[in-house]
Structure 1
Amino acid sequence: MSLYGVCYDCGAQATLRYKPDVALDDQPRPSVCNGCRMRREERMVEQFQERR
């Protein structure tokens, strides 16, 4: 599902997506743009690699 609106992270007008680092059950609607979603995914990968 996607929705057009203001990104929660950067404030840009964009097609919104769900946050990858938050459970879907905890998100009532998509809230971040694709760029911010990709940055969140990169942070998740970095944190995972640091734990190893």
Structure 2
Amino acid sequence: MTEITFGDKPTIILTENKKKRELTGDDKEKMLLYLKSTCDELKVLVKDLE
């Protein structure tokens, strides 16, 4: 499971086998870029549906 908290300092925590770990800086940046592009794609899809 991936838990993402947005705000002043975005955090991404992965839970694997009941153990939580925070992503490293590089992995966090990659995940945030991926989420931003996914969000942008969803905005386009929603606009097309309107």
Which has the larger Rg? 2
Report which of the two has the higher share of strand: 2
Report which of the two has the higher share of helix: 2
Please give the range of the TM-score, normalised by the shorter of the 2 chains: 0.3 to 0.5
TM-score with structure 2 length normalisation?
0.46
TM-score with structure 1 length normalisation?
0.45
Structure with larger RCO (C-alpha < 8 A, sep 6+):
1
